[in-house]
Amino acid sequence: MSDARRTDRMSRQADGHRDTPTRPAGPGGEGPHTRRGFLRGAAAGTVGAVALGTATGDARADPPVPSYPSPVHPPFHGPHQYGILTAPRRATAFVSFDVTAEGRAGLAEVLRTLTERARFLTGGGLPPSAGITAPPTDSGTLGAGLPGGDLTVTVGVGAALFDDRFGLAARRPRRLTDMAPFPDDDLQPAWCGGDLSVQFCADDQDTVLHALRDVARHTRGGLQIRWRQDGFSAPPRPTGAPRNHMGFKDGTANPDPADPRAMDRLVWAGSGEPAWADGGSYQAVRLIRMLVEFWDRVSLTEQERMFGRTRDSGAPLDGDREEDEPQYAHDPKGEIIPLDSHIRLANPRTPGSDAHRILRRSYNYDRGTLDNGNLDMGLLFCCYQQDLARQFKTVQRRLEGEPLTDYLVPFGGGYFYALPGVRDRRDWYGRRLLA
């Protein structure tokens, strides 16, 4: 262990406690902060690590993911949900809901309503008038009319939905489970799981918040927010992928969403899934606090060796450009890119490792400060894949014990199945699931 890491570990042992955010305000109130020592001993694998790895371009050095243009009316209808393949927008809110509606008929009504609101909010238009004596039908925070083309809404279902409440146990996606903790996690139950996941993404935060408020209003009595995390994606500085709170580029490499063969192989549901699930994808969400105060005490050289990339350019340590492919075969002992560096563990570029790639959709978050005065910043990590065990969890296991685990606190998230797309105006989220 280097002197810098040893000093940093000792400082954390003597200096602070690790706080995890409280549950969002709501019907259940706010839960207390949970304190625990920052240092966790010999850390094993962490979801925060894969979130960073998958978000900093460690699956394969492909060109940066292209961003879809913002059309006047995004294609809401189709075999897949539009928001899965689009590049991250500037703002997001990821919301986990518990279903409070009763019975399958109640669930169907909630999903129909959610579909109607998503269709209207993404397409834009004028909200209907309720008359001068009734409350307005829209909050008005975007003005008199809703602009179309900016917002995407992505809906998923959690394993909890397939309990005995709605008679759906036999229809559960084959690989969908509750999220079990990895060895270095500090998961808080109030920040984990849920029946439904809904992610709102747009280029402006007020668009995201307007949509969240609209959906919460129209589904009141049928859905209750379990947890929520807002996020943002920074602009390129100066070029290429945006940066995370550790200062490193986030999203340098990803499977190409414009390549249908790659998406069929890596993202969309494969064989063995229920017929209704065709067109969907497994969604992994992780909330990871970054210990930025302690990260800022580490030398730049050691930071770069932990990642395996230069901070300024994003290039691998043996390359010159962000898009360069690491040449591990020419560095078998890890003299240039350390063997325990993040990018080398996340994808050793060995035969068969291409099948483990995931489609990353990560955002930064900032929640102010914790009770001990430390900054509450981190990563809202989201990815899509065909098989959680083959892809996300495999990469996760490779990252066990990497140096970055000393600076990350995974505290929440969940696994969800992103539903197939809404095919036409007669269709709605989950219609085939409930048929």
Dump pLDDT digits (tens) for 2-21: 444 444 434 443 343 444 44
Q: What percent of the chain has pLDDT over 90?
A: 72
Which alpha helices (DSSP H) does 39-183 contain, by range?
A: 47-55, 82-85, 103-123
* pLDDT of res. 239: 87
Q: Which residue has the higher pLDDT, 205 or 184?
A: 205
Write out the DSSP string of 116-146. Answer: HHHHHHHH-BPPPP--TTSPPSS--TT-SSB
Helix count and strand count (H, E) for the chain: 11, 11
Q: Are 255 and 266 in contact (CB under 8 A)?
A: yes
Q: Is the pLDDT of residue 303 over 90?
A: yes
Q: Is the pLDDT of residue 126 over 90?
A: yes
In the DSSP assignment, the letter for residue 248 is S
* Residue that is written with structure tokens 């290039």 in the block: 315
pTM for this entry: 0.85
* pLDDT of res. 73: 58
Q: Are 172 and 159 in contact (CB under 8 A)?
A: yes
Per the prediction, the chain carries an average pLDDT of 86
* pLDDT of res. 236: 87
* pLDDT of res. 418: 98
Domain ranges of the chain: 3-21+33-127+141-434
Q: Is 237 helix (H, G, I), strand (E, B) or coil?
A: coil
Q: Is the pLDDT of residue 45 over 90?
A: no
* pLDDT of res. 250: 86
Number of CB atoms found within 10 A of residue 320's CB: 10
Q: Which residues pair with 283 in a beta bridge?
A: 384, 416
Dig out the tokens for 108 from the structure: 């169907």
Q: In this predicted model, what pLDDT tens digit does every residue of 383-427 receive, in sequence order?
A: 999 999 999 999 999 988 899 999 999 999 999 999 999 999 999
Q: Which residue has the higher pLDDT, 68 or 346?
A: 346
Number of CB atoms found within 10 A of residue 348's CB: 14
Q: What is the mean pLDDT of residues 222-226?
A: 98
Q: Is the pLDDT of residue 62 over 70?
A: no
pLDDT band at residue 74 using 50, 70 and 90 as cut-offs: low
Q: Is the pLDDT of residue 259 over 60?
A: yes
Q: Is the pLDDT of residue 226 over 70?
A: yes
Dig out the tokens for 296 from the structure: 């800022």
